[in-house]
Amino acid sequence: MSQSATAAKSNAKDTVTVTDNASGKAVTLPVMSGTIGPKVIDIRRLYSDTGMFTYDPGFVATGSCESRITYIDGDAGVLLHRGYPIEDLAQHCDFTEVAYLLLKSELPTAAEKEKFVYDITHHTMVHEQLAMFYRGFRRDAHPMAVMCGVVGALSAFYHDSLDISDPHQRMIASYRLIAKMPTIAAWAYKYSIGQPFIYPQNGLRYAENFLHMLFATPCETFNVNPVFAKAMDKILILHADHEQNASTSTVRLAGSSGANPFACIAAGIASLWGPAHGGANEAVLTMLKQIGNKSYIGEFLKRVKDRDDATRLMGFGHRVYKNFDPRASIMRKTCHEVLGELGIKHDPLLELAMELEKIALQDDYFIQRKLYPNVDFYSGIIFQALGIPTTMFTALFAVARTTGWVTQWNEMVEDPNQKIGRPRQLYTGRTRREFVPIVRRG
C-alpha cells in the first residue's frame, strides 16, 4: 500500500471515500452527524478494509467518543453545557446547580436542587483516617502532588462505591468526589502551611465552605466575604467541564479499562497539573511577575515570537477556541468585581495583564495564529486577590473540573459502544534484528 492515501468526498450522501493512490483501491466510510457541530468520519473499519491506521498525534482531528454533555464551537467562541450557554449558567446558577445539570442532564427544580445540595453537603467530610494519610507527604509538597495521592487513595477507603457496573454505586462515588474534593484540596493547603485541618461546615454553601476550609483557623470565627464566595462560585462554574480536553480524555482512557472512579479522577488530576493545561493559571501569574512592568512587554513578546525560544504567552491560545474563550470574558469581569470589593483601584498585575492582552491582540503573530486569551489569563489574578497561594491555583481547577470528570466518566461507562482505549502507532524504530550475546557486543 502506498503511504500517500488521499481523502475525497464521495458523491454518495454521508459517506467519504478514501482512495489509496498507489493501488487505486478505494474504501467508502460512513459519515456521522451530531446534533450540532462538524460531521465526523467513522473510521472504525478503516484498518480492516485497508490495512492502514490513521495518524493524529494530539487528537487534533479525532473524535474519541460520542457525548451529550458539553458542546464547544471554537470558531464562534461558544460553550454550551447540556445546551445552555455558559454565560447564562454563570449569570443565573450557582455551582451546585451546574453540577446537577452536568451530572443529570437537566437543570434541577427547586426541590431537586435542595436535595442535591443536602446530599453533596453531607458527603463533604472525608474518612478520618485519610487525615493521617497527609502526614506521609513532605510539608513542601505541591498541593497537586498531594491531591494525586489522596484522591487515588479514596479507592482504599470507600469500598462500597467501587463496583462500576452498579449505577447506584457510580452515583455515590460521583457525589463523594464532587463533595470531598474541596475538603481534600483545602487540607492539602493547610498541611503545606502547618495549620490544622478545618472541617466542612454543613451550614455553608459549596464555594463558601471551600473558602472557609482554606482560610479559617480553629482560633477565631472566620466569615467568608460574600463577594469572594460568589467569585469562587463563578470560577467553579467556568471550570466545571470542557468536553474532551486532556484531563477529561485521561479520565475516560483510564476508566475505559474498568478502573474505579477514584483512580480515574486521580489520573485526571495528574494530567491537569501540566502547564499546557490546568497549570497555566499558575504559569500566567509567574509570567506576569517575570515581565514585571509594562515597559518590558515588547521585549517579552519578542521572545514569545522567536522560534528558537520556547517561551509562550501563557493564558493565550487554545486547541479548540480560535476566537475569544467565552469563559475569559466572564473571568475578566469577575476579576474587576473582586478587585473592586477589595478597594483595589490600581492592581499592577491586572493592569499589566490588560496591556499585554491589548498588545497581543493587535500583533500579527497572534492574529494569524488565532491566539486569544483563554480562561486562565485572568483567573490567576482573581485567585491572588482572594488570597489563594499560587500553588493552589491548579488544585482549585481540579475541584471544579471533578464535576465534569465524573459526568464524562459516567457517560463513558454507560455508552454501549465503549471499548478499552487502545490507540495504534506509526512505528519508526528498528526492524527485526539478530540478538547479540553480551560477550560479543561493543
The residues annotated as belonging to the active site are 318, 376
Whichever of 66 and 309 has its CB closer to ligand ACO, that residue is 309
How is residue 202 annotated by DSSP?
Answer: T
Nearer CB in complex with ligand ACO: 138/370: 370
Closer residue to ligand ACO in complex, CB, 192/403: 403
Q: Which one, 20 or 243, has the nearer CB to ligand ACO? A: 243
Q: What are φ and ψ of residue 113, in 5° steps?
A: -65, -45
User: What radius of gyration, in Å, describes the C-alpha atoms of the chain?
Assistant: 24
Residue nearest to ligand ACO (CB): 317
Q: Please answer whether residues 409 and 264 qualify as being in contact, where contact means their C-beta atoms are separated by less than 8 angstroms.
A: yes
The residues binding ligand ACO (CB under 6 A) are 58, 276-278, 280, 304, 312-319, 369, 371, 374-376
Residue found by looking up cell 512587554 in the block:
297
Q: Which residues are CB-neighbours of 438 under 8 A, at least 6 positions away? A: none
Q: How far is the CB of 187 from ligand ACO (least distance, A)?
A: 24
User: CB 237 → ligand ACO: shortest distance, Å?
Assistant: 14
State the angle between helix axes of 393-414 and 376-385 in degrees (0 to 180), rounded to the nearest 10: 130
- Whether 269 and 390 have beta carbons less than 8 Å apart is answered as no
The distance of closest approach from Cβ of residue 391 to ligand ACO in the complex, given in angstroms and rounded to an integer, is 17
Identity of the residue, 134 or 397, whose beta carbon is nearer to ligand ACO in the bound complex: 397
Interatomic CA distance for residues 87 and 84, integer angstroms: 8
Find the shortest distance in angstroms from Cβ 314 to ligand ACO.
5
List CB contacts of 223: < 8 A, sequence separation 6 or more.
Answer: none
Count CB-CB contacts under 10 A for residue 270. 18
Q: Is the CB of 261 or the CB of 315 nearer to ligand ACO?
A: 315
The span from the CA of 390 to the CA of 286, in Å, is 9
Crossing angle between the packed helical segments 95-104 and 206-215, to the nearest 10 degrees? 120
State the nearest-atom distance from the C-beta of 437 to ligand ACO, in Å.
45
DSSP state letters, 384-440: HHTT--GGGHHHHHHHHHHHHHHHHHHHHHH-TT-----------S--------GGG
CB of 152: closest distance to ligand ACO in angstroms? Answer: 22
**What CA–CA distance (Å, rounded) separates 164 from 170?**
6
Q: How far is CA 329 from the centre of its chain?
A: 18
